[in-house]
Structure 1
Amino acid sequence: MHKELRVAAYAVCVRDGQVLLARWVAGDGTKRWTLPGGGMDHGEDPYDTVIREVDEETGYTVEPTALLGVHSVLRRYPRKLGKVADFHGLRIVYEGLITAGTLRHEQDGSTDMAAWHALDAVADLPRVELVDVGLRLWRERPPQGHVDKGLSFPER
């Protein structure tokens, strides 16, 4: 089994009771909302990654104001020729303050739309688990920056 590690940085940007989300398009065309952010380039600092990724996906300049936590996920994915990848995702989650820019959608990337959503409406959105993890880190601010792996987060 092929092992894959992906380190990524994301931002939880909340203002006026709304959270900024980007709509991720999976390889099969499925679309679900996620936190703006994404994978680190080799040699890149995660702080710089989240700034770059938020700009790419939303058009906004973000200032990371707090490190909320780190979330780890393990999954197995099918790959070409019947192979399976053992995927480990390490997600660094920041609180972000929008300081400039105009909302726009990403061009030729992994997301096709960015939008603000009312916090109380997020539960009804088709979303990836990272949205729930990030909002929980933002609300609870656990001192160790970690949420219990025993809890399940609905993926819709």
Structure 2
Amino acid sequence: MANRHLRVAAYAVCVDDGKVLLARWLGPDGKRWTMPGGGLHHGEDPCDAVHREVGEETGHTVEIERLLGIDTVHERTPRRLRHDRRFHGVRILYAARVTGGELRHETGGSTDRAAWIPLDEVPALDRVPLVDIALALYAERPPHGRLTAPAR
């Protein structure tokens, strides 16, 4: 029997003047760039989660423009002496526009830095796969909200 975990999260894809807003995540394997956003609190609407998370991680307020898509990830982590851990992540991605606030870094949270990164510099960043998925959804804008070719 496996230990199962479901996580639903919502993220903002903010692109302006050839730059994308990213947050640097403090993950178990080191610091990697990600989209601003994160897990929903129990009973929280995904749009409300995006507003909250973007504010916490970047200092900005945003207006959601449209739903870009939903991505899922499944991971299985074998564990010695215990049951395997199976993770299922559901990630809701929204195109958003910054409407206020000032860029700042989060302190005491899951990220330590926020920045507007030129799109042509993103491939050289140490980043989580979600960044590529989000930017592909932003570029492709599939009507069904799913990439035709995985960006992983």
TM-score range normalised by the length of the shorter chain = over 0.9
Contact 2:61-2:101 within 8 A present in 1 as well:
yes
CA deviations on 1:78-106 (whole Å, 9 max, x unpaired) are: 66964431000000000010000000111
Q: Could you say which residue in structure 2 is the equivalent of 1:151? A: 150
Alignment partners' CA distance in 2, 1:62 and 1:73:
26
Q: Could you say which residue in structure 2 is the equivalent of 1:131? A: 131
> Could you say what secondary structure the match of 1:61 adopts?
strand
Q: Could you say which residue in structure 1 is the equivalent of 2:48? A: 48
Q: Could you say which residue in structure 2 is the equivalent of 1:97? A: 97
Alignment partners' CA distance in 2, 1:75 and 1:53:
24
Q: Could you say which residue in structure 2 is the equivalent of 1:119? A: 119
CA deviations on 1:51-73 (whole Å, 9 max, x unpaired) are: 00000000000111110000000
Q: Does 1:141 align with 2:147?
A: no
Q: Give unmatched runs, 5+ long, in structure 1.
A: none
Residues 4 and 102 from structure 1, CA distance in 2 versus in 1: closer, same or farther, beyond 3 angstroms? same
Alignment partners' CA distance in 1, 2:100 and 2:34:
21
Q: Which residue identity does 2:65 align to in structure 1?
A: T
TM-score by length of 1: 0.91
Contact 2:75-2:86 within 8 A present in 1 as well:
yes
RMSD (Å), alpha carbons: 1.5
Give the superposition deviation at 1:77: 3.2
Q: Could you say which residue in structure 2 is the equivalent of 1:73? A: 73
Give the superposition deviation at 1:107: 1.2
Residues 61 and 152 from structure 1, CA distance in 2 versus in 1: closer, same or farther, beyond 3 angstroms? closer
Residues 78 and 98 from structure 1, CA distance in 2 versus in 1: closer, same or farther, beyond 3 angstroms? farther
> Could you say what secondary structure the match of 1:104 adopts?
coil
Contact 2:9-2:46 within 8 A present in 1 as well:
yes
Residues 116 and 87 from structure 1, CA distance in 2 versus in 1: closer, same or farther, beyond 3 angstroms? same
Q: Give unmatched runs, 5+ long, in structure 2.
A: none
Contact 2:136-2:151 within 8 A present in 1 as well:
no
Task: Report % sequence identity.
Answer: 58
4+ aligned runs moved over 4 Å, structure 1: 78-83
Give the superposition deviation at 1:139: 0.4
Q: Does 1:11 align with 2:15?
A: no
> Could you say what secondary structure the match of 1:107 adopts?
coil
